[in-house]
Structure 1
Amino acid sequence: MTKLRLVVLGLSLSSSWGNGHATTFRALLRAFAARGHDILFLERDVPWYAVHRDLKDPDFCRLEFYSSLEDLRRYKDAIVGADAVIVGSYVPEGVAVGHWVQKTAKGVVAFYDIDTPVTLAKLERGDFEYLTPGLIPGYDIYFSFTGGPTLGHLMERYGSPSARALYCSVDPEAYPALDCEKRWDLSYLGTYSPDRQPTLERMLIEPARRAPHLRFVVAGPQYPTDIDWPENVERVDHVPPTEHPLFYAQSRYTLNVTRADMIRAGYSPSVRLFEAAACATPIISDIWDGIETLLDPGREIVLAQAPEDVLAVLDQWPEPRREALGAAAQQRILAEHTAAHRAAAMERDLLEGMRRRHEEHRPALEMRA
């Protein structure tokens, strides 16, 4: 097997506070390292993550921090010597970082978009926070959080040489199913987002108002102080990844809420979907195209639109049916959607990218000869 030297420039590996990137990168890169590869992760040192770091010394890769674009140049030799370099979405000054990496790297250069529908919506309105249309053709591979028709759109509209789905995943060892007493009938774990809030209102807050005998929890940072939480909704500001399995185990059901741009695009599963399923916690989810390709509605996941749908499950489903739903979802996720599955796919795509680069450069070398 070819040992690859990989450099990743991502939003964060060290802190899971306020972002889902860290847990996604941790699971993926741990599994990639287990395949025998060498990884350097470069993270912009920013104060809001610095005070919330919950992984300072990973055992699966080398983690380094840089303070500015100029400081990033310290790692030029690593970029030049890498077999592959991956730049992630929402990297600070990501456009400048992308230009520099594309100009500097000698190996495969890829973009890993953990926010694809949001990214494309930003591009459509001329918001080039971390990516521009002109950068996309310069990335040999566009790894996309979103699958389905979006992949064709990236290649046909934006000129990506190769757009490949790289969904989030889960590390089963980090997300085991635990047997413990239930504290909540329905939980939600996620950072506040204005476009997710209406769904959270409809699928959790309103059911809580109608069912004061049930217990709910919303965990995650950045929720505005003016939200009117019912008395039976507990608020937790942050749950570190190490405590996610216990959080899910204490939930009879957990809620999956998807951002508006991702619902429109479809095929955009949240990392929480995989993590909760790995913990065998039954999931109630909003509805979007492609969810049925991941989990079978009615057997492995419950799809809901209205408060009545949620309350029908919470109040009427017998315990054996609830447990069967969670067990079926767990079996499906462990069979198809672990970090090991994603790492194998990423390795295959990077090796294919290396082969394509070699084939493209060989005619030029032969002409010079």
Structure 2
Amino acid sequence: MTTRPLRIVILGLSITSAWGNGHATTYRALVRGLHALGHDVLFLERDVPWYSAHRDLPEPDFCRLALYADLAELHSRWAEAIRDADAVIVGSYVPEGVAVAEYVFRTARGVTAFYDIDTPVTLAKLARGDFEYVSPQVIPCFSVYLSFTGGPTLQRLEQEYGAQRAEALYCAVDEARYAPTGYEPHWDLGYLGTYSDDRQPGLERLLIEPARRMPDRRFVVAGPQYPASIEWPANVERIEHLPPEQHAAFYGRQRFTLNITRQDMIAAGWSPSVRIFEAGACGTPIISDYWEGLTELLPEPEAIFIAGSSEDVVRMLEETGEAERQEMAGVARGIILEGHTGTARAGQLAGILASCMADA
């Protein structure tokens, strides 16, 4: 659906800092895409210490950006922008998100949307009565619930939580910044991700144990917050933090990259990680754990390898020839560039918002 240029306000966790979160790269790809399509975006971000100390994109050139200290400043400075916008989007994990949503409902005249970049985590929190950033009371008030998870979860959001309309809006890759680099591989297998308790068993099984079994191979794990108690094999290199501008080079130096999925997202299925799209756009073949919907997005083994055990990973690293590796990378890259870029996702979002506006 083609649309006229829209005025969009996004209240998101962060677009300025990718420190310890995947929201920033998601918003950057999406908002760059919206900008490329001619839409006007104001991004409102809560100014918090842990991001202000690690801002790798303090002045984005593809949207207007404003930091606000608290709800009072949000109300006093940005009421007019929220009122006059064609659409106002509140993201998951926004500090005091329920109060922010309630303010948006009182103020906005246009379409309102909740963009859940953490849908399985959100549903698990709601089931526990944890309403940190969204609650059962506010969900039905949004014009549309935009979910990082598709499939049956969309029906659940409508039927169990009263969402007026639930639409999948997966993460996406910025195709201008994630592309093959031409570097020769330095590591046989790498992983990029912040430490997570429920992902760590997968990392142990699919990277650390294969590294122990293959001492002549090189491995790498990049990301913050890993406990000092982890015993890394000598052939596993550690990178504490890797800013987004270095991601493409990082992927480009791997023969394969590993994707590990949080347990809530495995249970829900249909929850692609941005790391899959980033690595695929860079032409790096992907080894991933399995969840429902993955092979519908990237067919296996043509575009991705699925691993359930250490033995699977060892076999893939030992038996995959260079021609097969390059062919798989090319298939995945083609699929991602066709349907999972920031520009493609921005067009999808604009169409959803225009449809909501027409319904209203």
**What range describes the TM-score normalised by the shorter chain of this pair?**
over 0.9
Q: Which residue of 2 aligns with 1:119?
A: 122
TM-score normalised over the length of structure 1: 0.96
Q: How many residues align?
A: 357
1:110-141 alpha-carbon deviations (Å, 9 max, x no partner): 00000000000000010100000111000101
2:275 matched to 1:272?
Answer: yes
Identity of aligned residues (%): 59
Q: 1:153 aligns with which of 156, 176, 181?
A: 156
Q: What is the deviation of 1:187?
A: 0.3
> Which residue is equivalent to 1:363?
none
Contiguous gaps of at least 5 residues in structure 1 = 358-369
SS at 1:330 equivalent: helix
Q: CA deviation at 1:33?
A: 1.2
Aligned amino acid, residue 83 of structure 1: D
Runs of 4+ in 1 over 3 A off after TM superposition: none
| Correspondence 1:208-357 to 2 at 5 A | 208-357=211-360
- The residue that corresponds to 1:27 in the other structure is 29
Q: Give the alignment partner of residue 107 of structure 2, picking from 104, 107, 111.
A: 104
Matched, 1:83 2:73: no
1:14 and 2:16 equivalent?
yes
* 2: CA distance, partners of 1:124 / 1:317: 43
Q: Deviations over 1:305-349 (max 9, x none)?
A: 000000001111111111111111101111121111111110010
- Aligned mates of 2:6, 2:248 — CA distance in 1: 32
Partner of 1:361: none
CA distance in 1, matches of 2:135, 2:339: 33
Q: What residue number does 1:57 align with? A: 59
RMSD across aligned C-alpha pairs, in angstroms? 0.7
Give the deviation of 1:205 after TM superposition. Answer: 0.5
Whether 1:181 aligns to 2:154 is: no
Question: Distance in 1 between the 2:29 and 2:270 partners?
Answer: 20
Shift of 1:104: 1.0
CA distance in 1, matches of 2:319, 2:306: 15
TM-score for both structures, normalised by structure 2: 0.98
**1:165-219 per-position Cα deviation (integer Å, ceiling 9, x unaligned):** 0000111111011111211000000111111111011000111111111110000
* Cα distance, 1:264 vs structure 2: 0.0
Distance (whole Å) between structure 2 residues aligned to residue 29 and residue 113 of structure 1: 16
Deviations for 1:33-82, whole angstroms, at most 9, x for unmatched residues? 11111110000001111111011111110010001111111100110011
Alignment equivalent of 1:136, drawn from 121, 135, 139: 139
Choose which of 46, 49, 55 in structure 1 pairs with 2:48.
46
Q: Matches of 2:234 and 2:96 in 1, distance apart?
A: 42
Q: Secondary structure at the match of 2:161?
A: coil
Q: Is 171-180 or 136-145 further displaced after alignment? A: 171-180
Per-residue deviation at 1:289?
0.2
- 1:252 is paired with a residue whose SS is strand
SS class of match (2:343): helix
Corresponding residue of 1:171: 174
Asked if 1:197 corresponds to 2:200, the answer is yes
Aligned to 1:362: none
For 2:359 and 2:199, locate their aligned partners in 1 and report how far apart those are by CA, in whole Å: 40
| d(CA) in 1 for partners of 2:161, 2:294 | 25
Runs of 5+ consecutive residues of structure 2 not aligned to the other structure? none
